[in-house]
Amino acid sequence: MNGPIRRVSVVVMLMFVALMLNASFSYVVRTPSLTADANNRRVRDAAFGTDRGDILVGNTAVVSSEPIDDRFGYQRTYAQGELYAAVTGYYSFLYGGSGLEQSYNAELAGTSDAQFLDRLVDLAAGRRPQGASLETTLDAAAQTAASQALGDRPGAVVALDYTTGAVRALVTSPTFDPSLLASHDLDATTQAWTALNDDAAAPLSNRAVREIYPPGSTFKLAVSAAALESGLTPDTLVDSPASVQLPGSTHELRNAGSCGGDQITLRQALVVSCNTAFANLGGQLGDDALRAQAERFGFGTRLLPALNGVASSFPADPDPAQTMMSSIGAFEVAATPLQMAMVAGAIANDGVVMEPYLVSSVRGEDLNVVSRRTPNQLSTAMSAEHAEQLQDMMVAVVQDGTGSRAQISGVRVGGKTGTAVTGERTPYAWFVAWAEDPTVAVAVFVQDAGVDGSDVSGGRYAAPVARAVIEAMR
């Protein structure tokens, strides 16, 4: 072989080697990014046409995939879609997913690592892969009661089993129908997406776990816990004048009514929700103690990642006046309804905060358990002794105070009302509660009660919702 032919052979061989190396690199390294590329229509079509697993409430599938004669092969359907939308979310060809449809996408599509063997079996048998089913912790009766009691008022309701952290109801209003975004009519899907995002009522917003609001007087539970942990007792006297001048400020904080004297017990202050008593108490405890107590309840922690929950917050460096306002759940204190349900639940659970969760188990197509969730303790918010004292104080709120509309015959219920007033908007109405039987903690947030602001109160508009949820679970 002469020189020129040998050189050409070497070049051709090197080109073949480079081609094989590039192909190998693309297959091994670039496959995940190419598969996830939004412009990869082949992959997106295949994923959207998967026989995704069901999402179950009890033994009922509230989300399922039905065979359909079109290019995708399966249509995602949502039974009672508006009722469960805050939990299930949507699965859309154009707009991806939300809620459990997004956070458990791999399991529902059958592509998780834990389902590898199932995929091999399906491949060997020549079957299309089938996704796993999610067994949620939701209670259908509680979910329905929460939705009906809240009605069309903007707001949210969260109920959880405080002994385990299992979420029993999670409702947000206004809501939406996920079927509109799961449609195979892509023009209709685009129109629905535009309408939902342009709606001033924000139906796609998850007010239960994704939005934070001033919690008003429900935050007095955290202040009471900090006070008890600092050595005070329910019978400790606290100053409760008709008004108090905030330090370094021209603002004068007043009570909505008489607290019962210029000095009252801590128990009485919670029963009548005395603003000046808690402002003075918070000023004495200091912002560091209040912040630490709030964090022990879960503030500052992103909760319920299955729904991409956000963290509640206590101000970082408030001055004395701001600390006093924070003590009544104002200034920059902000919480999700989920967080406030956890505060009530921790008190009922003798001070132990359980991590909330929504999916109890994931089951494969042959009903084998792919994964199972066990309860997990998040923190200890307070001692059992002090929690029991605060339980009695909350029971007094329901029996003799502002939470009387949450009374249920034959059930021990503790609660706390809240009315958050900031700016010129309609005040927010809050109520948090717990019951002994069933072991449930509930937070109700009414963003707009639909009445004049002067008539808004947590006891009037939020407490009956909590009562309805507890009664539904009996």
Over the stretch 168-225, which tens digit does the pLDDT of each residue have? Answer: 999 999 999 999 999 999 999 999 999 999 999 999 999 999 999 999 999 999 999 9
Residue 368 binned pLDDT confidence (cut-offs 50, 70, 90): confident
Active-site pick, 92, 112, 179, 217 = 217
Antiparallel, parallel or unpaired: β 133-136 and 55-57: parallel
Mean pLDDT of 15-24: 71
Q: Could you tell me what percent of the chain has a pLDDT over 70?
A: 89
Residue 14 binned pLDDT confidence (cut-offs 50, 70, 90): confident
| pLDDT recorded at residue 1 | 53
Query: 3-state DSSP call for residue 376?
Result: coil
| Position 226 pLDDT exceeds 80 | yes
pLDDT in tens, 278-313: 999 999 999 999 999 999 999 999 999 999 999 999
We find that the CATH architecture of domain 216-359+375-472 is 3-Layer(aba) Sandwich (3.40)
C-alpha triplet 302, 307, 310: angle, nearest 5°: 30
Query: 3-state DSSP call for residue 160?
Result: strand
For residue 147, give both structure tokens. Answer: 């939705």
What CA–CA distance (Å, rounded) separates 440 from 412? 11
| pLDDT recorded at residue 461 | 96
Q: Which residue has the tokens 């998850």?
A: 206
Is 217 known to be catalytic? yes
CB 459, CB 431: distance < 8 Å: yes
The residues spanned by each domain of the chain are 216-359+375-472
| Position 355 pLDDT exceeds 80 | yes
pLDDT in tens, 392-425: 999 999 999 999 999 999 999 999 999 998 777 8
| Position 341 pLDDT exceeds 60 | yes
DSSP summary character for residue 154: S
| Position 129 pLDDT exceeds 60 | yes
CB 455, CB 419: distance < 8 Å: no
| pLDDT recorded at residue 390 | 98
- The whole-model pTM stands at 0.90
Q: Could you tell me what percent of the chain has a pLDDT over 90?
A: 79
Which residues have CB under 8 Å from 415's CB, separation 6+?
344, 394, 397, 398, 403, 406, 431, 432, 433, 434, 463, 466
| pLDDT recorded at residue 453 | 74
DSSP characters for 295-309? HHHTTTS---GGGT-
- Count of all residues that appear for the chain in the document: 474
Return the C-alpha torsion angle 292, 298, 301, 304, nearest 10: 180
pLDDT in tens, 54-108: 999 999 999 999 999 999 999 999 999 999 999 999 999 999 999 999 999 999 9
Lowest mean pLDDT among 211-215, 424-428, 439-443: 424-428
How many angstroms separate the Cα of 206 from the Cα of each of 43, 85, 179, 202, 468? 30, 9, 17, 9, 21
Which residues have CB under 8 Å from 20's CB, separation 6+?
none
> 35 or 352, which is more confident?
352
Residue 125 binned pLDDT confidence (cut-offs 50, 70, 90): low
Instruction: Tell me the average pLDDT of the chain.
Output: 92
| Position 10 pLDDT exceeds 90 | no
| pLDDT recorded at residue 166 | 98
